[in-house]
Structures are given as C-alpha cells and as structure tokens.
Amino acid sequence: MKAAVLRKYGVPQVLRIEDVEQPIPSDSEVLVKIHASSVIAGDCEMRRMDFPLMLKIPLRIFMGIFRPRAKILGQECAGEIVMVGSTVEHYAVGDRVFLTSGFKMSTNAEFITINPDSSSMVMTTMPSNLSYTEAATIPVGGLNALRAVTKMKLQSGQHLLINGAGGSIGTMTIQLAKLHDVVITAVDHQSKLELLTSLGADHVIDYQHEDFTEKSQTYDVIFDIVGSTDFSRSLELLKDHGSLILGNPTGTQLLFAKRRGRKRGKSVITNTSDYTTEDLINLRNLIEEHKLRPVVDKIMTLDEISAAHEYVEGWQKKGSLAIQIIP
C-alpha cells in the first residue's frame, strides 16, 4: 500500500511516499480502507519533534531517539471497513467509520488496522450527512473542542475568549460553545475573521493589529489553543473563579500553571485530550442534527503530503486540511 513515511526528523520534505506492507488485522481488530485523512499541527510537531522537553524525551523513546522508526504520520481518518477480526463485535464489512488512531498514528496511508476496544483509539460509524473528506477532519479537532467545552462548564451569558480560533479545534469550539448561549470573542488572523463570525463568534480580534491582553475586557473562560499569549496577563483577564484552558502548554506550565492559578482564585486546565467513543458519537449526533459542521479549507492528495505540511505550518489554515486517499 502507499503511505507517507517519516524516516528522519526535519522539514516537510523529509516525508516520502513509499510502498509499504499492508497491515493484517488480528482477531480483535478491523482493517479500514482509508478514503481520506488529514494533516494537523500535531503531525507537523511530530515530524519536527518539536515539543516541550518533558514530552520530547518520552516521545523520542517511542518514535526513535536519533531518527524515527519508519513511522507513518496522521492521527485521524475516515474510511470503510474491509475486514473484521473474529472477536470483533458491533462492526461489519462495509461500515463507514471515522476515527482517531492516537499515538499509533498511521492514517496518512491507504489502510490501517484498529482495535475498536482500545483505550488509545476512538472509532465509530461516521455521520450519514458527510463525505469521507469532511468526516476525516472531525475526530481530533472535534474531540479536543468537546472536552474543552465540557471542562469550561459554561453558563448562559458568560464571556468566552478563544485564542487561535480559526484552526480545527477553534472552529469546532465556537460552534459547541454557542450551543450554551455564551458571548464569544475569537482571536486569529484577519483572513479568518469572516469565517469565525459566520460560525457564531460575537466579537473578533485580528491578533496582528490588536493584543487582547492589552484590553480591559474580562472573561469567564479563556481558551488559549496556540499558547502565544502571556500566561500571567491571561490570568488577570479572568473574572473571579474564571478558567484558563491551555491547549498547547509549555513544560513549565504543565508543572506549575495549576498552582499559580489557584493562588489567584482561578482554575487552570492543561489537558483536554482524554478522548472517548461516547464523545465521538456525541459529535456525530450533533453533525447529523445540523448543530455542528466541519470546516475544510483545502483538500490535497497523499502525493502532496509535504506541501500539506508546509501549508499547515504557515498558520493560515482555516479549519482543517484533508488528505484525499481515494478520489
């Protein structure tokens, strides 16, 4: 099968399209023929091995200390089940599914094996009203957004600020938070502001011309997806008992942010990635009820994987970038 293989860390051009052995499912796995996958910021970070030190060390051990062990990147996809292990229940050949493969990655390829009962992978049947390319961009961004909104404990009329609102997580967060009837301020590049307003943002800020931390407006919740703002100033902008959610915390923040927040009477949350199948089913239901929709900026092919990584690293992506495996 064709796959985008990473054999050394570095720039997007280190990725190579190679013919690799097609995986064979065990008794507890299904084989999914991938119709579409995606490229997300986390794939680019993995390719560069660009993480805080406390994450980089275990990831280097897992991936390969000096060079990766021929890893296939990609963390989400949509496709069709073409083989089912003898002990697998609830799935059959022909089921259309979408999934996140967790640290197994391997979705930038033509096939993948998945254990539906694994705690590190999340899969369910895909929304009936989406194409494969649309469904493939939902799991990682949608699950992160759903967990973040759940932890926000939003109440009607509260004020939420989302920094980095124009990516795959942010565009989902706006829509999910709006279901709670809150006032949303979305911060991102000027080119994305019209989209953010159409998704439900009440106020938008172009970070190139305005610094929201210099304003006097305070918020009940701040969701800093990109981690580009001053931590102390963000805490100051929170109302009493407000919450700061860090979508991309530094190593220092992972160690000390929660304690610093408590000293100021604020809550700091650094983990929104505990995915469950129930959460993915919830996202599917919201999409089928037309309460949530994917935002797909570009659709590229597997042969264009290096260019896709370059585009995602440019931070101009609106929503998600899909990789079409089967035309």
Q: Is residue 299 part of a domain?
A: yes
What is the per-residue pLDDT across 171-195, written as a single tens digit (0 to 9) for each? 999 999 999 999 999 999 999 999 9
Give the percent of the chain with pLDDT over 70. 95
When divided into structural domains, the chain yields a total of: 2
Query: Alpha-carbon distance 243 to 220, whole Å?
Result: 6
Burial of 24 (0-12, 13-18, 19+ CB in 10 A): exposed
The pLDDT score that the predictor gives to residue 50 is 81
163 and 94 within one domain: no
* Domain containing residue 180: CATH number: 3.40.50.720
- Residue 65 belongs to domain spanning: 2-138+295-324
Which of 87-96, 116-125, 214-223, 267-276 ranks highest by mean pLDDT?
Answer: 87-96
Q: Is residue 275 part of a domain?
A: no
The pTM of the full predicted model, rounded to 2 decimals, is: 0.93
What is the per-residue pLDDT across 36-46, written as a single tens digit (0 to 9) for each? 999 999 999 99
The pLDDT score that the predictor gives to residue 249 is 72
Q: Is residue 77 part of a domain?
A: yes
- Residues in contact with 232: Cβ distance below 8 Å, sequence separation at least 6, in sequence order: none
250 and 179 within one domain: yes
The pLDDT score that the predictor gives to residue 263 is 66
Q: For residue 64, what pLDDT band results from cuts at 50, 70 and 90? A: confident
The pLDDT score that the predictor gives to residue 158 is 97
Q: For residue 61, what pLDDT band results from cuts at 50, 70 and 90? A: confident
Rounding to the nearest 10 degrees, give the CA dihedral for residues 305, 307, 309, 315.
-150
Say yes or no to pLDDT of 33 above 80: yes
Say yes or no to pLDDT of 163 above 70: yes
Q: For residue 120, what pLDDT band results from cuts at 50, 70 and 90? A: confident
Give the percent of the chain with pLDDT over 90. 75
The pLDDT score that the predictor gives to residue 256 is 64
* Domain containing residue 48: CATH number: 3.90.180.10
64: left (phi over 0), alpha (psi -120 to 50) or beta: left
* Maximum distance among all Cα pairs of the chain, rounded to whole angstroms: 61
